[in-house]
Structure 1
Amino acid sequence: MTRPPTKSPRATMVAQAADLIARKGVAGTSIGDVLAAADASRGSVYHHFPGGRSEILAEAVLYGADRIDDGLAQAARSSPVYLVADIADMWRRMLTDTDFAAGSVVSAAATARETDPAIADIAERQFVRWEDGLAASLRSRGVDGDRSRSLAMTTLAAIEGAVVLCRAHRSLEPLEHVVEEIGPLLSSAG
Structure 2
Amino acid sequence: MGDTKERIVSAGATLFRRQGYTGTGVKQIVAEAKAPFGSLYHFFPGGKEQLGEEVVRWSGALYGRLVDAVFDPAPDVVTALENAFAGAAETLVDTDYADACPIATIALEVASSNETLRQATADVFESWIAAIADRLAAAGIPADRARDLAVATLSALEGAFILCRATRSTTPLAQAGAMVVDAVRRALP
TM-score of the aligned structures, taking structure 1 as reference length: 0.85
Identity %: 28
1:152 maps onto 2:150 in alignment: yes
Query: Do the aligned residues in 2 keep the contact of 1:27 with 1:115 (CA within 8 Å)?
Result: no
2:64 — aligned with what? 69
Q: Distance in 2 between matches of 1:13 and 1:160?
A: 26
Query: Do the aligned residues in 1 keep the contact of 2:61 with 2:124 (CA within 8 Å)?
Result: no
1:3 — aligned with what? none
Q: CA deviation at 1:184?
A: 2.8
Gaps of 5+ in 2: none
Q: Distance in 1 between matches of 2:103 and 2:119?
A: 10
Report how many residues are paired.
Answer: 184
Q: CA deviation at 1:151?
A: 0.8
Deviations 1:132-187 (A, max 9, x none): 22122222222223221211111100011111111101122211222222223212
1:125 — aligned with what? 123
SS at match of 2:139: coil
Q: CA deviation at 1:93?
A: 4.2
Q: Distance in 2 between matches of 1:126 and 1:150?
A: 17
Gaps of 5+ in 1: 1-6
Matches within 5 A, 1:69-88: 69-77=64-72, 79-88=76-85
TM-score of the aligned structures, taking structure 2 as reference length: 0.85
1:92 maps onto 2:89 in alignment: yes
Query: Do the aligned residues in 2 keep the contact of 1:76 with 1:133 (CA within 8 Å)?
Result: no
2:8 — aligned with what? 13
1:56 maps onto 2:54 in alignment: no
Moved over 6 A (4+): none
